[in-house]
Amino acid sequence: MTRVDLIPGTWSGRDDGPGPEHLRWHSAVSAFEPDIAPGATVLVGFRSDEGVRRNKGRPGAARGPTALRHALASMALADPIRLFDAGDVAVAVGHLESGQRRLGEVVAGLLDAGHFVTVLGGGHEVAYGSYLGLSGSTAIASGARLGVLNLDAHFDLRNDAVPNSGTPFLQMAEAEAAAGRSLNYAVLGIAQPSNTPALFARAASLGVRHLLDDECSAANLPAVESFVDEFLRTVDLVHLTIDLDVLPGSIAPGVSAPAAFGVPVEVVQRVCDLVARSGRLALLDVAELNPRLDPDNRTSRTAARLIHRVVTSRAPS
């Protein structure tokens, strides 16, 4: 990767003074440069509406990365952390596949350099680009077991003629099969009314484990924790992907398809904690933030809180 310059104003916010006791994201983030030492957290934006447009959803997610940066900027950091911004991969209309390949190349390079990668979407087509990076990394080539944990109201296993925001996990399954592996894919938060019997059948045929949204209440948290723990025992490296429509529509209205029910934010946060502290998390991506549908920035603030939680509590992998 080449050096990137931060867009003026992207990382700015409240400033209470110098020193670590006043540290916030905007004062901790620097522009990424290729020679930084391993072990940093590196942000990459994926400015894409193309997958949502192809899936007949409501466009606007291409503005998500900028909104997420603004929401993160003034968050206070309890301890110093090495944060870098590698800029955005921008996807032009009609060019989703090349954009996903470019994202994969960026992600693979960052992972091979020893960094933790956080991808800011973008529609959920971002997940396939992230996967291309992780599956193409040196660690996977050396035999590490890849697992994908999706927090989502949808399986996103659609068998459509043209790839879109509803197809990324079927694309992953097909790519894994071509590599002689099976996709280790688990989903938490599935909304039954939003997934056809054909999608449930496809998930079953691929060995996909899932929990329904109404199984993910705070009262049922021990079962959720057990589900996550069992998944973690089967993998070496985790790709955690969060589609913000997993949250209740009252919490996350700024998405293409707001949830009528959803998974409580405290449950989603607990799942993030378990994965972040496992020592197996290699990659996080956050998808479907649509600032055009988020007039009070409720969704972006919630998403930023989850990103902050993962980044600041992550155990070294």
DSSP 110-135: HHHTT-EEEEEESSTTHHHHHHHHHH
243 is in an annotated binding site: yes
Q: What is the DSSP letter of 155?
A: -
**Is 154 annotated to bind ligand?**
yes
| Predicted local confidence at residue 6, as pLDDT | 59
Backbone angles phi, psi at 86, to 5 degrees: -95, 10
Q: What is the spatial distance between Cα 151 and Cα 252, in angstroms, rounded to a whole number?
A: 14
**Residue 239, annotated ligand binder?**
no
Note the pLDDT of residue 19. 81
SS3 12: coil
Question: What are the chain's domains?
Answer: 20-313 (3.40.800.10)
CA distance 84 to 151: 25
pLDDT of residue 273: 97
Q: How far apart are CA 91 and CA 129, in angstroms?
A: 11
- pLDDT recorded at residue 3: 47
245 is in an annotated binding site: yes
Contact 256/292 with Cβ under 8 angstroms? no
Tokens of 211: 């929990």
Q: Per-residue confidence of the chain (317 residues) as pLDDT tens digits? A: 544 555 655 788 888 888 878 899 999 999 999 999 999 999 999 999 998 999 999 999 999 999 999 999 999 999 999 999 999 999 998 899 999 999 999 999 999 999 999 999 999 999 999 999 999 999 999 999 999 999 999 999 999 999 999 999 999 999 999 999 999 999 999 999 999 999 999 999 999 999 999 999 999 999 999 999 999 999 999 999 999 999 999 999 999 999 999 999 999 999 999 999 999 999 999 999 999 999 899 999 999 999 999 999 997 76
26 is in an annotated binding site: no
> What's the pLDDT score for residue 262?
97
Asked if residue 85 belongs to a known ligand binding site, the reply is no
Judged by DSSP in three states, 51 sits in helix
Does the pTM of the predicted model rise above 0.85?
yes
Residue 21 pLDDT: 86
Q: Which pLDDT does position 148 carry in this prediction?
A: 98
Task: Give the span between the Cα atoms of 117 and 168, in whole angstroms.
Answer: 19
Token representation of residue 155:
């399986």
Residue 2, pLDDT score: 45
